[in-house]
A and B are shown apart, each in its own frame.
Chain A
């Protein structure tokens, strides 16, 4: 109110009913808000499992069918309300939990304690997961086995790699899949499946180290001039890098085969060593074991890194680069290291994928793939290897599972809904890292913001 005198101002000031402002609307109280949440979840379940529309008119009629078929709607919403009631009024049955997070935390606490008690429990859990990973795919139908390899498996490798870059070093890399493409094209080149012929034709297995080194070099090449940038700027640079790789693959016809991709089939990997002869062939299962082995090795390596001097340096750089420099850290070197490690992991995934599917073209490496890996990492819990693995597994298997309920083109809508809900109710992810949990807590108590690339703000004044 510029120009007004004091008396005018007080005259104009609207009367504020402070008491009303202080009073929360009933639907804003946590309990009723949670009821709303459960009911909406019930409705979503009813829609997903209900009849599905195929066209625009059929959508309405299928929704109508869902909402008029009382049994389905009733059962689904009923389950929601029941869960809510148990949660809200089942208090005497168990120790009171103040919030959903509290409740979950209490349930998980003994597990967590067991898990945190030294290295043996971790190894035991790891062995168990590995065993499950080895056995379960055997029991699945071939379709699911393919999903395990080409969707989940490849993305597990990608996510574990991206976690190093963004989860630990805090570098927002949106072009992560570019390195995946470089890895895939490396294997295509060295096996002689591109229009240009390599000096020697190699077995995909032998190409692995070459592809990994190529991606490492590409990572260093891109990282060296750009890693002085942070956050949004680095995101744009990596985005641009992805576009360059994609367009080169698409337009350098003589070298990459252009949009048609490989001209010959990339041979399957095979081993001929010490009398051992094995060819991976077409069956998905052997590839699954290959991926499982790689993932296990990377998980062990990376968790050792996380708890090393290097891991601590990454944390420091992520939280406050100026402070890290002042503490005597060579920040550029550590950022470069994380970037290159991520790039090589991505390249490894590319090799495995390319040698499984046999034919690749630029459209196997869309920008969307980078965004998907990023969302798996965030969904699972940035910075936590277990979280990233679980998140990727859930989100890559979910579309396949939804296939039997909803039309194929609708699947990503539900996936999107799940992501939105997750970020609202559990931004730290499925299995958050301790650090991430602290960051979000700090941000909630008003110290800085916990965005993807950094910790809560460095300075308070």
Chain B
């Protein structure tokens, strides 16, 4: 990766508010092609707001979102997906009354010709448990399997950048490790990942770099190793103090 190439995703002094509530107070974040970047922060820090702004569900009050060097803030969500950004939203939203396969097909909705064989094969290769359950209704999957399905569905849109919002939420550590292993594989296959997490320990083992968000502002930006060793991060997010 050359230094001259613009970051794949760049948030430039992004400000987002919900009415009077200022959720993001001018954050700047860069994600370079091929990276896994972790966005850490406690509840209410503004992580979900960040992802929702990137995927076009929210409009910033000021500042910009740049994708491949182009402004994309203000582009409606359904067009953002077509640009190559897929979002696996918070709380593993799957279509409960659709089968696993139907869910994945919905992920490929942006392709008029429907889901492609090779994309399905790729997802089933990454998540063999989904392959076994392809006709099962998504609503009857376990929490971990639903999270896998939400990620798989996002991959069906062939994203260049994958946004993951707290994939570890409410899952057993074992399952989280499994899922993060797969995210690593997805990244190695060439997809850039912006990973939002509260579970800093796991996230930083996967990420190359990380940002720490506090009440809508970036308070730290470091490589993963540095963050893992940082006292404040340890205290706040690695279970060695109250969040």
Give me the interface of A with B, judged by CB distance under 8 Å. 309, 312-313, 315-316, 319-320, 322-330, 435, 438-439, 442, 445, 447-448, 455-461
Contacts and interface: CB of A to CB of B under 8 A. Distances in A.
B110 A319 contact: no
B116 to A, nearest CB: 15
A458 B78 contact: no
Interface residues of B, number: 37
Nearest to A328: B81
A143 B105 CA distance: 51
B157 A327 contact: yes
Nearest to A330: B78
Interface in B85-117: 86-89, 91-98, 105-107, 109-110, 112
Contact of B97 (A324, A326, A439): A439
B107 A445 contact: no
Contact of B109 (A313, A445, A461): A313
B137 interface: yes
Contacts of B86: 326
A319 B57 contact: no
Interface stretch (B139-147, B179-187, B222-230): B139-147
Question: Which of A320, A329, A457 has the most chain B CB atoms inside 10 A of its CB?
Answer: A320
B93 A320 contact: yes
Contacts of B82: 328
A455 B95 contact: yes
Given A312-B106, A316-B106, A456-B139, A322 B93 contact: yes
Nearest to A461: B170
B190 to A, nearest CB: 20
A324 B96 CA distance: 12
A21 B153 CA distance: 45
Question: Which of A323, A326, A459 has the most chain B CB atoms inside 10 A of its CB?
Answer: A326
A17 B96 CA distance: 39
A128 B12 CA distance: 65
B96 A461 contact: no
Interface of B: 55, 57, 76-78, 80-82, 86-89, 91-98, 105-107, 109-110, 112, 137, 139-140, 143, 146, 150, 153-154, 157, 169-170
A445 B97 CA distance: 12
A326 B55 contact: yes
Nearest to B156: A327
B143 A448 contact: no
A328 B97 contact: no
Contacts of B78: 325, 328-330
B143 A461 contact: yes
A319 B76 CA distance: 21
Closest 5 CB pairs of A and B: A328-B81, A323-B93, A330-B78, A319-B95, A455-B97
A372 to B, nearest CB: 27
A328 B96 contact: no
A326 B88 contact: yes
A315 B98 contact: yes
Nearest to B143: A460
Given A325-B77, A326-B55, A328-B82, A457 B87 contact: no
Contacts of A328: 77-78, 80-82, 109-110, 157
Given A309-B112, A326-B81, A438-B137, 8 more contacts: A315-B95, A320-B93, A325-B78, A326-B77, A326-B87, A329-B78, A458-B91, A458-B96
A448 B139 contact: yes
A313 B106 CA distance: 8
B139 A323 contact: no
B97 A442 contact: yes
A383 to B, nearest CB: 11
A456 B109 contact: no
A313 B95 CA distance: 11
B81 A442 contact: no
Contacts of B87: 326
B76 to A, nearest CB: 7
Contacts of B139: 442, 447-448, 455-456, 460
Contacts of A326: 55, 77, 81, 86-89, 93, 154
A456 B97 contact: yes
Question: Which of B81, B88, B89, B110 has the most chain A CB atoms inside 10 A of its CB?
Answer: B89
Nearest to B97: A455
Contacts of A457: 96
Question: Which of A315, A319, A330, A455 has the most chain B CB atoms inside 10 A of its CB?
Answer: A319
Question: Which of A322, A448, A458, A461 has the most chain B CB atoms inside 10 A of its CB?
Answer: A458
Given A445-B140, A447-B139, A327 B153 contact: yes
A168 to B, nearest CB: 13
B81 A327 contact: yes
